[in-house]
Amino acid sequence: MASPSPEMVSPDMVSSQRKRRRFHNEDVTVEQVEELGILREVDPRVIAQKLIDEGKAGWEPADWRNPMENLGNLFDRYTLGQGSLPFTIDVAVVSGNFVASLKTCLSQDEYVGSYHTEPHAKQEAAKSFLRDPNVKKLFGLIPPKQGDIRHKVVLYTEEKRACEDFGVTRVVQNLIVRKRIDDVLAVFHDMGYRTDVWDFNV
């Protein structure tokens, strides 16, 4: 296909071509892409409220789950799924029974469970922790899963196409989504929700 003659090239086409050439690298910032006006407006406060309305914020232990599973799930949410579980369980044998001692980053308290099998001793310690009134106060202040936030702020197909037209790489597109997630999390932080990072428990 022949290239357009100089008289056929409009200023808009030249500007667009320059932008595409400029953004054919990963040095472009998210802010520069936002300035192009090709992304939809995402209000993190609106997204946060929608997630609250949908019951995505907060956490409750499931009665049908093993208490140790509930313990792990709570800290998975508290750490935003970063893989760190800020608690330890030490087990000793006392008078023929297993005694499990649970310590967490949330308090100086130790939660103890005793049983004639080790797994059940750990479960009893986890139950003791999850029943603590001070711990229960945390349940309603757990922010949504990052996956739930991501679902609300992903780039639409039209946005992806526009980004590709301007040479915005997939890496930068992922950074755009990451920024949107962080902006929503910042709203939850301002609302008093808690994570290990916000509580300085890392």
pLDDT at 25: 55
Cβ-in-10-Å burial (0-12, 13-18, 19+) of 10 comes to exposed
8 A C-beta contact, residue 195 and residue 77: no
pLDDT at 4: 47
Q: Would you say residue 126 has pLDDT above 70?
A: yes
Mean pLDDT, rounded, for 178-191: 97
pLDDT tens per residue across span 11-67: 454 344 445 445 555 677 899 899 989 999 999 999 999 999 999 999 999 999 999
pLDDT over 70 percentage in the chain: 85
Q: Would you say residue 201 has pLDDT above 90?
A: no
- pTM, two decimals, is 0.82
pLDDT at 104: 93
Task: Work out the pLDDT band at 175, boundaries 50, 70, 90.
Answer: very high
Task: Work out the pLDDT band at 8, boundaries 50, 70, 90.
Answer: very low
Mean pLDDT, rounded, for 76-81: 92
Mean pLDDT, rounded, for 61-84: 92
CA 192 – CA 37 distance, rounded (Å): 32
8 A C-beta contact, residue 142 and residue 57: yes
CA 148 – CA 145 distance, rounded (Å): 5
Q: Which amino acid is at 111?
A: Y
Task: Work out the pLDDT band at 82, boundaries 50, 70, 90.
Answer: confident
Least confident among 1-15, 26-40, 176-190:
1-15
8 A C-beta contact, residue 163 and residue 173: yes
Strands of the 87-94 sheet, one edge to the other? 87-94, 97-104, 110-115
The residues, any chain, with a CB within 8 Å of residue 90's CB and separated by 6 or more, are 100, 101, 103
pLDDT at 14: 37
Domains along the chain with CATH numbers: 10-52+143-190 (no CATH), 60-139 (3.30.160.20)
Average pLDDT, the chain: 88
Task: Work out the pLDDT band at 2, boundaries 50, 70, 90.
Answer: very low
- Give me 197's structure tokens: 């990072």
